[in-house]
Amino acid sequence: MSWFLLVILFCCMMLIVYMYREAHRNTIRYEQLKFDSFPESFGELKVFFISDIHRRIVSEEIIASLTGRADLVIIGGDITEKGVPFSRVLENINRLKKIGPLYFVWGNNDYEVDYHELDALLINHGVKILDNTALSFESTTGEKLALIGVDDMNRKRDRLDLALSDCDKVGFRMLVSHDPRIMRKINNDDHIHFVMSGHTHGGQIRLGRLGFYHKGGISHHDKTVLLISNGYGTTSVPLRFGAPAETHFITISKK
């Protein structure tokens, strides 16, 4: 084999190693968001958001650095997929519970397993499932904020109208949807201030601006701020390029 081919083979091997490491990062992105509409009496709301876990086990490094620090821990769908044992799902739940109380919305891959069993496992271990429902939180002064969740859009199970009917019209509203396309269904008069989503993996493997999906990040849309996460796990192949694995620790307060 010529030296040229050996160099090419070596470079390919190094690229695969790099992509594997990008797919198995344990990055926490610290985000600070301020809203005029956020109720001041809540002070700061601290949210840990993780989506698209798939086959991974959440790193003890992340758990140790965030134990007890979050008011809400939100799993933005795809906590599992076909072939993942429920014992691994339970291990992730038990780890994430150390950070704070758990909330969950369904993703498309969650329906690849026995979702009735998954539903029971989540409920039995104290995870609050937001399937076209909402939860309201009230401060000591009576101000309110709502955490809204919709079911999976890919299976046409999402009912934003039902979720909105489940919470007061007043107050600050946060919406969790596995799929960011929920933005197409949000109207200004829905008064949704912040949306958290995943699903796209940031394209997972991309070349600069080129990818099947936009890279994850925060964007502003009229009266709504949208967070799309690159996600923690991978789909199809355990490799990433240009869209490294990530989780998010979000501090929300009044502007």
**pLDDT tens figures, 118-173:** 999 999 999 999 999 999 999 999 999 999 999 999 999 999 999 999 887 778 99
Strands (E), 61-124: 72-75, 102-104
63-79 tens-digit pLDDT = 999 999 999 999 999 99
Work out the average pLDDT over 34-57. Answer: 97
DSSP-assigned beta bridge partners for residue 205:
241
* Total number of residues shown for the chain: 255
Helix, strand, coil % (nearest 5) of the chain?
30, 25, 45
Instruction: Report residue 6: phi and psi, to 5°.
Output: -65, -40
All domains in the chain, ordered by first residue:
27-254 (3.60.21.10)
